């Protein structure tokens, strides 16, 4: 061992002990005849002291240490003259007697401090240095702690962690698969799993009863800010359960994490909201309910007064921002610009202030009498000082989504989205299908194995779009942290689902035949849920992106810029795989 103690553990009670430490040079300071080195390791920082008068050569050696040099020192623990109350080791320092440079370092391309001067691209290229920063490493320490607690909880509930294969079979339904050519089976390919969905269902058929796995999943998607081609799921499945059992168990896990990781005891049950209500009142299937501002529909109140925009609208709705009446014209113009950005796409915004005397002053006063505006005020239960913001459009769902963005932005502006406050929610009763206008067909909203609600099964034949699923999402602060469903365990019903999803019997057989076959040998009722580990960690770490809770993330082009992957292959490798790259196509 190169050390007897770490840089984080020495205290006043260690004074006069002779210790050996090893770590990285954070900084070197000369003060009069003394030189001080801050020595850093994962556990903390310890101050090293060198006295010019006592050992000039040693002190000189210290003065020549560069940032990020790796050194080993032996010396005596001493009480500091000027203590640093901000550091756990701030009461002591090491009077160094021996110093050895274990490795030198070039000057790092950015400072290894919480507040660094390195831009994103540079930090990603030198991720091994970025990870030295406490703020980055602490995200990964949090991640480690969370997986320990997840396993503790699930193991305690009788779940078995079972590893499912990574080299599986491509199922083009849904997102794109990453594929892996097989050398031993020329012309054939494995696929990397988008989730272990079919395998966990097979494990239920096998009687494993309670399964989980913290597992890498893969999706070849065009990447957005919060997506990575490889991501980690806490994947779970249970047998002989109904929806209520799954919700209870995984709400319990969420509460366990809040308690053990964030020190928060949540006693109440998580509120539940139907998907229909979430869309109606928040314009989103993952509403952030840290704050109110529920949508109020205004079709009945505002239509028919000659204001063409509203008169022709398929939807008119608004939110009431408490106390925001003092918003200036400039602020309101900026909000209008915000909703008109192409990513949101609203045509415009109407606003109305409730004045101190209760009267309403709006941007469309010429069309509406105070009488009508008062009715609107009542619909919002708005009070003096409140600001009402209204959007309209010819597509109700699109307009709701725009209003959702406006609501979130107002939440931000009014400071209603505090990262240390958490609002958990179950969204339930998702539709089973989603209609694609483009493809003129139904798609499974979750996946083709999701069970319809038993009472809605007759609708499969008459009105598939109206069928609700036994599917549920857990949403925290507007982030979908997990979701799942009760599965179909009846092969007849599963066949019907494939039919409705436009699978030919041959395609269903070739892609999911093994699962259909398994269902013929005694499949138990089962259901489950998958949590997104990356999202949980970034939520608890207060991060804006999942990227900073992943040790070696990829960029938006799917590249690891540190190792420069992906890369071209040797021709010999391609030949062995019977492949030819064809860039012309």
Segment near its own copies (CB under 8 A); pick from 113-121, 327-335, 408-416, 512-520: 512-520
Say whether 576 counts as a known binding-site residue. no
Q: Is 479 helix (H, G, I), strand (E, B) or coil?
A: strand
Say whether 298 counts as a known binding-site residue. no
Helix (H) or strand (E) holding 426: strand 424-428
Return the DSSP state at 8. T
Return the DSSP state at 176. P
Q: Rule CB under 8 A: say whether 523 interacts with its own copies.
A: yes
Taking Cα atoms as reference points, which of 212, 159, 272, 137 lies closest to residue 533?
Answer: 212
**Strand-strand pairing, 18-31 and 44-51:** unpaired
Interaction residues for its own copies, span 71-100 (CB under 8 A): 72
Say whether 228 counts as a known binding-site residue. yes
Q: Rule CB under 8 A: say whether 110 interacts with its own copies.
A: no
Q: Rule CB under 8 A: say whether 135 interacts with its own copies.
A: no
Q: Rule CB under 8 A: say whether 183 interacts with its own copies.
A: yes
C-alpha gyration radius of the chain: 30
Count of residues touching its own copies (by CB under 8 A): 127
Pick from 61, 74, 147, 363 the residue near its own copies by CB under 8 A: 147
Say whether 535 counts as a known binding-site residue. yes
User: Which residues are bridge partners to 272 per DSSP?
Assistant: 426
Residue 360 or 550: which CB sits closer to its own copies? 550
Q: Rule CB under 8 A: say whether 43 interacts with its own copies.
A: yes
Residue 25 or 273: which CB sits closer to its own copies? 25
Interaction residues for its own copies, span 204-263 (CB under 8 A): 205-210, 216, 218, 220, 222, 229-230, 232, 240-242, 245
Segment near its own copies (CB under 8 A); pick from 39-47, 86-94, 113-121, 411-419: 39-47
**Residue 251 has which token pair?**
């709400």
Say whether 277 counts as a known binding-site residue. no
Say whether 533 counts as a known binding-site residue. yes
Q: Rule CB under 8 A: say whether 336 interacts with its own copies.
A: no
Q: Rule CB under 8 A: say whether 516 interacts with its own copies.
A: no
The three-point CA angle 402-407-409 to 5° equals 95
Residue 189 or 305: which CB sits closer to its own copies? 189
Neighbours of 356 (CB within 10 A): 9
Segment near its own copies (CB under 8 A); pick from 254-262, 317-325, 328-336, 550-558: 550-558
Pick from 140, 309, 344, 516 the residue near its own copies by CB under 8 A: 140
Residue 191 or 469: which CB sits closer to its own copies? 191
Measured CA to CA, the distance from residue 554 to residue 563 in angstroms comes to: 10
Shortest CB 279 distance to its own copies, Å: 31
Task: Please say whether the beta carbons of 70 and 24 come within 8 A.
Answer: yes
Interaction residues for its own copies, span 555-574 (CB under 8 A): 557-560, 562-570, 572-573
User: Which residues are bridge partners to 392 per DSSP?
Assistant: 316
Interaction residues for its own copies, span 468-507 (CB under 8 A): 489-490
Q: Rule CB under 8 A: say whether 132 interacts with its own copies.
A: yes
The string of DSSP codes covering 250-297 is HHHHHHHHHHHHH-----SPPPEEEHHHHHHHHSSSS--TTS----EE
**Strand-strand pairing, 210-218 and 160-161:** parallel
Residue 413 or 491: which CB sits closer to its own copies? 491
Residue 345 or 525: which CB sits closer to its own copies? 525
Interaction residues for its own copies, span 160-179 (CB under 8 A): 160-170, 172, 176-179
Say whether 577 counts as a known binding-site residue. no
Measured CA to CA, the distance from residue 94 to residue 20 in angstroms comes to: 9
Say whether 256 counts as a known binding-site residue. no
Measured CA to CA, the distance from residue 364 to residue 349 in angstroms comes to: 10
515 to 8, 167, 488, 495: CA distances (angstroms): 53, 17, 11, 11
Measured CA to CA, the distance from residue 535 to residue 383 in angstroms comes to: 37
Say whether 221 counts as a known binding-site residue. yes
Residue 483 or 527: which CB sits closer to its own copies? 527
Please name the residue that has the structure tokens 């509120």: 271
Interaction residues for its own copies, span 3-22 (CB under 8 A): 3, 22
Q: Rule CB under 8 A: say whether 138 interacts with its own copies.
A: no
Task: Please say whether the beta carbons of 371 and 392 come within 8 A.
Answer: no
Pick from 35, 194, 197, 198 the residue near its own copies by CB under 8 A: 198
Pick from 186, 348, 458, 505 the residue near its own copies by CB under 8 A: 186
Say whether 564 counts as a known binding-site residue. no
Say whether 532 counts as a known binding-site residue. yes
Task: Please say whether the beta carbons of 10 and 89 come within 8 A.
Answer: yes
Shortest CB 390 distance to its own copies, Å: 41
* Distance in Å from the first CA to the final CA of the chain: 58
Helix (H) or strand (E) holding 103: strand 92-103
Neighbours of 137 (CB within 10 A): 14
Annotation: binding site for ATP: 219-221, 228, 480, 532-535
Annotation: binding site for L-aspartate: 173, 219, 446, 487
């Amino acid at each position: 061992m190169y050390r007897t103690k770490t840089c984080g553990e020495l205290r006043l009670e260690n004074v006069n002990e002779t210790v050996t430490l090893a770590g990285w040079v954070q900084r070197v300071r000369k003060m009069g005849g003394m030189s001080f080195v801050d020595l850093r390791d994962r556990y903390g920082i310890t101050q090293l002291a060198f006295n010019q008068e006592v050992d000039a050569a040693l002190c000189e050696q210290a003065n020549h240490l560069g940032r990020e040099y790796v050194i080993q020192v032996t010396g005596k623990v001493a009480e500091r003259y000027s203590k640093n109350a901000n550091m756990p080791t701030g009461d002591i320092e090491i009077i160094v007697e021996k110093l050895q440079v274990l490795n030198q370092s070039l000057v790092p391309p950015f400072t290894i401090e919480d507040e660094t001067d390195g831009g994103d691209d540079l930090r990603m290229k030198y991720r091994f240095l970025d990870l030295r920063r406490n703020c980055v490493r602490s995200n990964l320490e949090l991640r480690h702690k969370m997986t320990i607690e997840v396993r503790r909880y699930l193991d305690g509930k009788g779940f078995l962690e079972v590893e499912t294969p990574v080299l599986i079979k491509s199922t083009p339904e849904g997102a794109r698969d990453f594929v892996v050519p097989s050398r031993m089976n020329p012309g054939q390919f494995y696929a990397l799993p988008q989730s272990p969905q079919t395998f966990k269902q097979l494990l239920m058929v096998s009687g494993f009863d309670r399964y989980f796995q913290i597992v890498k999943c893969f999706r070849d998607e065009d990447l957005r800010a919060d997506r990575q081609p490889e991501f980690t799921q806490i994947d779970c499945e249970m047998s002989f359960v109904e929806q209520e059992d799954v919700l209870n168990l995984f709400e319990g896990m969420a509460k366990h994490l809040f308690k053990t990781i964030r020190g928060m005891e949540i006693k109440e049950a998580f509120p539940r909201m139907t998907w229909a209500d979430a869309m109606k009142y928040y314009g989103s299937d993952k509403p952030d309910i840290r704050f109110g501002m529920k949508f109020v529909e205004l079709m009945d109140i505002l239509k028919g007064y000659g204001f063409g925009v509203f008169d022709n609208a398929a939807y008119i709705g608004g939110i009431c921002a408490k106390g925001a009446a003092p918003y200036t014209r400039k602020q309101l113009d900026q909000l209008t610009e915000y909703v008109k950005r192409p990513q949101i796409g609203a045509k415009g915004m109407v606003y109305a202030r409730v004045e101190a005397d209760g009267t309403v002053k709006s941007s469309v006063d010429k069309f509406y009498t105070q009488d009508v505006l008062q009715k609107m005020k009542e619909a919002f239960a708005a009070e003096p000082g409140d600001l009402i913001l209204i959007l309209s459009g010819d597509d109700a769902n699109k307009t709701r989504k725009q209003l959702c963005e406006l609501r979130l932005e107002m939440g931000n502006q009014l400071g209603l989205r505090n990262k240390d406050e958490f609002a958990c929610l179950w969204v339930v009763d998702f539709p089973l299908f989603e209609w694609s206008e483009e493809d003129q067909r139904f798609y499974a909203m979750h996946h083709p194995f999701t069970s319809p609600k038993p009472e809605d099964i007759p609708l499969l034949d008459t009105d598939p779009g109206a069928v609700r699923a036994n599917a549920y999402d857990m949403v925290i602060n507007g982030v979908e942290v997990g979701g799942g469903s009760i599965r179909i365990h009846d092969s007849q019903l599963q066949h019907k689902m494939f039919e409705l999803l436009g699978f030919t019997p041959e395609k269903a057989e070739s892609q999911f035949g093994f699962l259909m076959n398994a269902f013929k040998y005694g499949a138990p009722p089962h259901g489950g849920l998958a949590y997104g580990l990356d999202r949980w960690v970034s939520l608890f770490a207060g991060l804006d992106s999942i990227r900073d809770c992943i040790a070696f993330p990829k960029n938006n082009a799917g590249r690891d810029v540190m190792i420069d992957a992906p890369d071209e292959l040797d021709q010999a490798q391609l030949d062995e795989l019977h492949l030819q790259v064809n860039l012309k196509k």
